[in-house]
Chains A and B, each alone.
Chain A
Amino acid sequence: QVQLVESGGGVVQPGGSLRLSCAASGFSFSNNGMHWVRQAPGKGLEWVACVWSDGNNKYYADSVKGRFTISKDNSKNMLYLQMNSLRGEDTAVYYCATPLSGNEHYWGQGTLVTVSS
C-alpha cells in the first residue's frame, strides 16, 4: 500500500533553515510529481510547492518563493523541502502528497515545524 512518511520537523529560530523529507513507497515514485502542503495551527490548508516526476519543473507559492526549494530523488524514493530564511508565519504542519489528478491520492501524516526564538 502507499505510504508517505515525513520527517525533519522541529523547532528553529527565525532566519534559520530546516530540511524536510518524505519517504515514499507503494507506488511508482519516479513517474509521479509530488506536492508539499502546510497548515498553520488553527488555520486552513495552504499549498506550498510541487515538483514534476523528473524533478526538473518546480512551482512554489508566492509566500515561499525564493526561500524554499523542493526536490526529489527518484533513486531513493525521497521528496525534500529545503526551507531557508524561516519566519514565524512558516510555523505549520507540513504534509507531502501525491498528484491531484487521477483516482488515487495520498497524504503523509505530516511533520510539525515551529519557528520561534
Chain B
Amino acid sequence: DIQMTQSPSAMSASVGDRVTITCRASQGISNYLAWFQQKPGKVPKRLIYASSSLQSGVPSRFSGSGSGTEFTLTISSLQPEDFATYYCLQHNSFPLTFGGGTKVEIK
C-alpha cells in the first residue's frame, strides 16, 4: 500500500501569510494526487486535482505542484475563510490513501 506522509500536521498562520503543505508518497504516484479542504462539520471540498489543476470555483490563491513522490499545496495569501484542515489523497493505485491532514489555525 502507498503511504502518504503529510506535513506539518498543524500550523498557526496569520491572514496574508503564504502557507505551504507537503505530502510525500512512499512510492511514485505520477500526478494522481488531489487536495481537499474540510471545515468543521462540513463535507470535504476538492481544491486541486491531478496534482496542479485548480478545481472550478476555487480561488487562484490555491495552487498545487509536484509529481512522483513529492507534492505541495500552497496558499499564496491566507484568508480568514481558509482556516480549515487540508488533506492530500493519492489515487494512483488501490487502496487509495489520504494523508493525515494539516490543521491550519489562526495565529
**A residues with CB within 8 A of B:** 35, 37, 44-47, 50, 59-62, 95, 100-103, 105, 107-110
Contact = CB atoms under 8 A, between A and B. Distances in A.
B46 A105 contact: yes
25 contacts: A35-B96, A44-B100, A45-B36, A45-B38, A45-B98, A46-B98, A47-B89, A47-B96, A47-B97, A50-B94, A60-B95, A62-B1, A100-B32, A100-B49, A100-B89, A100-B96, A101-B49, A102-B49, A103-B49, A103-B55, A105-B46, A105-B49, A107-B43, A107-B44, A108-B43
Interface of B: 1, 32, 34, 36, 38, 43-44, 46, 49-50, 53, 55-56, 87, 89, 91, 94-101
Contacts of B34: 100, 105
Contacts, number: 53
A100 B91 contact: yes
B95 A62 contact: yes
A95 B43 contact: yes
A45 B98 CA distance: 7
A101 B89 CA distance: 12
